[in-house]
Structure 1
């Protein structure tokens, strides 16, 4: 079978292993080169996955020496703009790790380069690709809860990464909250118009920058999205997918980030009294795709093969990025920021 996807992997550290394994397992894809500033890191990745491919310290050199038509960008966030724009300008599509960039200006430039070159850039938003969140989205958008007024996410974890995250100015908002913000857009189908954010670093934090935040977003259809999160919370942790509540004019639905969501709506056969009676809503789980990174990669590859934007194409993902950097700007200025 002809391998239609010829892939250069840029960045061979820990996050790259799932990407490389996925490419190796695809019948119509092959890895043609590895790029990493540290040759030993690339050699270790090649050995782990049984690859016999050239190794480069520079993406431009790898592009010039191969017939690659796709780049996996699994570098650190500070390198994303340089890696992605280099590949796009070389006429090569890119699939990459979040976030798109370390600043909104850089993310917007990436989108411009993608549009100018006609090459596609899709971003890993793996938390969209799970049976429970797809079921939650379908319930929220079904009308069974009535008109949606608010969506709330609590995120409390205490991961001890070490490395670049510990030194970031806003590790929670910039490196992690993109997932939860993107989930809120995905669940509601709404996009942000403003944000107010208070960032802080609580006692015991091992991060240099603020690792906790409270955000209030106004969305374009009137929904209010509140986010309350910490990346240095020890004990009673939520899931990585956060703990959610959606309230509507006729009911509410909650999701713990792990199990299928639960919904209740007003029982219209028993209207009256101080408190309404409620009925439990059925929450069918229709999604049959693979979960997490695998599901997102399947969508990314399908978009290339079907010549269409991916669900997480950069032109959509920039809206989630605006939530991130709008929150950072609001925390810096102490003011509401229009998006």
Structure 2
């Protein structure tokens, strides 16, 4: 079977890195075109990705009209996601888009409905779902060997000097970093968020227009609370990108942390016996798995695992945290959706 042809829009350092690590070696996709308004960066990306100069475009609409593609991967900056994604869907292409797939729920619903109307796949690259430890966490949660879930705590600490557009965003931390963790909370616990009490804040001379620090208390639809704290201004110890997790159960706890044998998944029983869980996956192929799932959803004509419709729940939760902080009250996700 011939490979699906894909156009990539957005060739900054992240987009080019994804191309090098996931698309060039993909058994499912080959490049039909590259799009970026910055010509020197576009040419450098083409060199790294071994894409012929005849397939380079500065205008995504021109690429969509001429490149002869089956699908579009959008790795441009998030403020332009809606316009590019809408154009891609209206042009008849399946779309894989970086998170956040849009910055507004109304726009997100419009894209989800457009994809459905045209029988096209709309998938969001929430690649943390495919990180090494996540499926081990899910397995332990589902097995319930330590009894019923009682609550969970997730923490993320990092110092990040954002890009210029990120520093100007109202909700950069919520929309481009904490969104990973919220999506993982939903995925690992198998439940959407029901309500949020949130607080975001900034520090003097941080360089960020929007708040780079967040604390949120979620009430999950399964009835347990989850507490999340994240910051991009941490000056002490940093956490790994997935953060540090404690899932408290009736008869013990499940951890994603370093409990003495490096960062990984651990089970601690009620007698404080610590057991490290062997990795089910042993390769760092999270983005490759995203593209494999995207291709499979197209070939099998089914909803992708991380569909735009599913991701509306994650997006709405982030916006609910922001609303809760501004209005100093609990916000139901249903208010946003």
Is the partner of 2:32 in helix, strand or coil? Answer: strand
Q: d(CA) in 2 for partners of 1:67 and 1:170?
A: 36
Whether 2:165 is the aligned partner of 1:164: answer: yes
Instruction: State the match for 2:266 in structure 1.
Output: 262
Alpha-carbon contact 1:152-1:227 (below 8 Å) kept:
yes
Question: Unaligned regions of 5+ residues in structure 2, if any?
Answer: none
Is the partner of 2:150 in helix, strand or coil? Answer: strand
Alpha-carbon contact 1:139-1:283 (below 8 Å) kept:
no
Summarize the alignment of residues 19-168 of structure 1 with structure 2, pairs less than 5 Å apart.
19-21=18-20, 22-52=22-52, 53-168=54-169
Q: How much does 1:150 deviate?
A: 1.0
**Stretch of structure 1 that moved more, 68-77 or 255-264:** 255-264
**Stretch of structure 1 that moved more, 227-236 or 251-260:** 251-260
Q: d(CA) in 2 for partners of 1:240 and 1:27?
A: 28
Instruction: State the match for 2:229 in structure 1.
Output: 228
Q: How much does 1:89 deviate?
A: 1.5
Instruction: State the match for 1:311 in structure 2.
Output: 305
Q: d(CA) in 1 for partners of 2:180 and 2:27?
A: 30
Question: Unaligned regions of 5+ residues in structure 1, if any?
Answer: 267-276
Q: d(CA) in 2 for partners of 1:117 and 1:290?
A: 34
**Stretch of structure 1 that moved more, 23-32 or 325-334:** 23-32
Q: How much does 1:255 deviate?
A: 0.8
Instruction: State the match for 2:316 in structure 1.
Output: 322
Cα deviation per residue 1:284-314 (whole Å; 9 max; x = unaligned)?
4334675322222222223223322222111
Q: d(CA) in 2 for partners of 1:219 and 1:44?
A: 45
Kindly report the root-mean-square deviation, in angstroms, between the aligned alpha carbons of the 2 structures: 1.9
Alpha-carbon contact 1:39-1:55 (below 8 Å) kept:
no
Alpha-carbon contact 2:267-2:274 (below 8 Å) kept:
yes
Alpha-carbon contact 2:28-2:295 (below 8 Å) kept:
no
Aligned residues: 328
Alpha-carbon contact 1:134-1:285 (below 8 Å) kept:
no
Alpha-carbon contact 1:127-1:241 (below 8 Å) kept:
yes
Is the partner of 1:15 in helix, strand or coil? Answer: helix
1:337 counterpart (308, 328, 331): 331
Per the normalisation by structure 2, the TM-score is: 0.91
Q: How much does 1:198 deviate?
A: 0.7
Per the normalisation by structure 1, the TM-score is: 0.91
Q: d(CA) in 2 for partners of 1:148 and 1:203?
A: 39
Q: d(CA) in 2 for partners of 1:28 and 1:185?
A: 29
Is the partner of 1:239 in helix, strand or coil? Answer: coil
Q: How much does 1:279 deviate?
A: 4.3
Instruction: State the match for 1:13 in structure 2.
Output: 12
